[in-house]
């Protein structure tokens, strides 16, 4: 997002709104469509930099004049919230690869479910698994810092992690981590499930808040669910938040079955990504301007 770091509340759109993979054609469609609407950056799910044409992505970002950030969610066999060393090592390698991909495309942020697997656990996190996650992320954060990259910790609902489900838990986790380039990533969809209110979540995040996913209660079009976005943006304004705000929405019209299965997406939220992304951009601009 290097081109836009001076913008107040730069607006992003998750690539999953547009595409289900990062082939050359998908990258072109996602980046050019995002830029055409006026988004400042696109959030790209991490791919192995050895398996995609990174230079192609860089050229598209440059010619479209927008930035990029990278997201990632660990899986059961790459979990760092574990006491199993081999599984943790695979997770650390994957996180390092995401940081390297971000560095290669000029992205200054890697966020998501970086601290645990994104799965429905059948047990609580342990002190040892939490400590392991902290230790791994400390090393990954140092690697990111050397490349000028911030690392985001996105708490999710109880069905997608057993470690961080609230802003308060996440703020404590980040303070325990003790790295100055690690920020709290707040997703309104997840916060809605677990917090007293969206404004309360913003207050609990405090100065650690560094990235936002604006996502409806049903993951579809912004403003058509039960979330209090007016209260949310008013609280953001009150706390002086100037960081990125990214539209995250998923529809089975775009995502491949494998991805839909991971996030529990069983319905078509909308059919046209252009309409969804354009409406979200207007919705976010309007709410930011009003608050």
Catalytic residue set: 154, 248
- Say how far apart CA 200 and CA 202 lie, in whole Å: 5
How far apart are the two ends of the chain, measured CA to CA in Å? 24
- Binding segment for Mn ion (CB under 5 A), chosen from 54-62, 193-201, 209-217, 272-280, is 209-217
Least CB distance to Mn ion at residue 91 (A): 19
Pick the closer one to Mn ion by CB: 23 or 157. Answer: 157
- Binding segment for Mn ion (CB under 5 A), chosen from 59-67, 99-107, 182-190, 261-269, is 182-190
Q: Give the phi and the psi of residue 168 in degrees, each rounded to 5.
A: -65, -45
Least CB distance to Mn ion at residue 245 (A): 12
Least CB distance to Mn ion at residue 190 (A): 7
Nearest Cα to Cα of residue 284 among 12, 67, 69? 12
Token readout for 244 is: 């990125």
Do 82 and 55 meet the contact criterion of CB atoms below 8 Å apart?
Answer: no
Least CB distance to Mn ion at residue 260 (A): 15
- Binding segment for Mn ion (CB under 5 A), chosen from 172-180, 208-216, 235-243, 266-274, is 208-216
Residues 248 to 267 in contact with Mn ion, rule: CB under 5 A: 248
Do 77 and 90 meet the contact criterion of CB atoms below 8 Å apart?
Answer: yes
Residues 6+ apart with CB under 8 A from 107: 1, 2, 44, 67, 68, 69, 70, 101, 149
Number of residues that bind Mn ion (CB under 5 A): 3
Position 213 contacts Mn ion (CB under 5 A): yes
Pick the closer one to Mn ion by CB: 108 or 154. Answer: 154
Do 37 and 281 meet the contact criterion of CB atoms below 8 Å apart?
Answer: yes
Nearest Cα to Cα of residue 93 among 121, 72, 70? 72
Pick the closer one to Mn ion by CB: 213 or 287. Answer: 213
Position 216 contacts Mn ion (CB under 5 A): no
Least CB distance to Mn ion at residue 215 (A): 6
Token readout for 247 is: 């539209």
The only residue of 40, 43, 92, 187 in contact with Mn ion, by rule CB under 5 A: 187
Applying CB under 5 A, the residues found at the interface with Mn ion are: 187, 213, 248
């Amino acid at each position: 997002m290097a081109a836009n770091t001076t913008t107040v509340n730069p607006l992003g759109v998750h690539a999953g709104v547009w595409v289900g993979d990062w082939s050359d054609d998908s990258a072109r469609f996602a980046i050019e469509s995002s830029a055409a609407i006026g988004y400042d950056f696109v959030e790209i799910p991490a791919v192995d930099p050895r398996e995609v044409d990174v230079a192609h992505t860089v050229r598209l970002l440059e010619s479209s004049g927008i930035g990029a950030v990278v997201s990632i969610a660990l899986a059961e066999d790459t979990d760092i919230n574990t006491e199993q060393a081999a599984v943790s090592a695979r997770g650390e390698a994957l996180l390092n690869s995401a940081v390297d991909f971000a560095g290669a495309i000029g992205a200054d942020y890697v966020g998501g479910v970086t601290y645990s697997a994104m799965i429905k656990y059948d047990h609580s996190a342990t002190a040892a698994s939490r400590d392991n996650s902290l230790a791994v992320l400390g090393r990954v954060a140092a690697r990111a810092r050397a490349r000028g990259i911030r690392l985001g910790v996105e708490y999710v609902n109880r069905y997608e992690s057993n470690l961080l489900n609230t802003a308060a838990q996440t703020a404590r986790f980040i303070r325990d981590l003790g790295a100055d380039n690690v920020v709290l990533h707040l997703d309104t969809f997840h916060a809605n499930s677990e917090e007293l209110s969206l404004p309360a979540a913003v207050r609990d995040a405090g100065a650690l808040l560094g990235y936002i996913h604006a996502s409806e209660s049903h993951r579809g079009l912004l403003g058509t669910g039960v979330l209090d976005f007016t209260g949310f943006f008013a609280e953001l304004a009150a706390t002086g938040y100037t960081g990125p705000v990214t539209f995250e929405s998923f529809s089975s019209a775009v995502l491949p079955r494998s991805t839909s299965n991971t996030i529990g997406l069983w319905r078509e939220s909308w059919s046209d990504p252009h309409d969804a992304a354009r409406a979200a951009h207007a919705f976010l601009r309007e709410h930011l301007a009003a608050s």
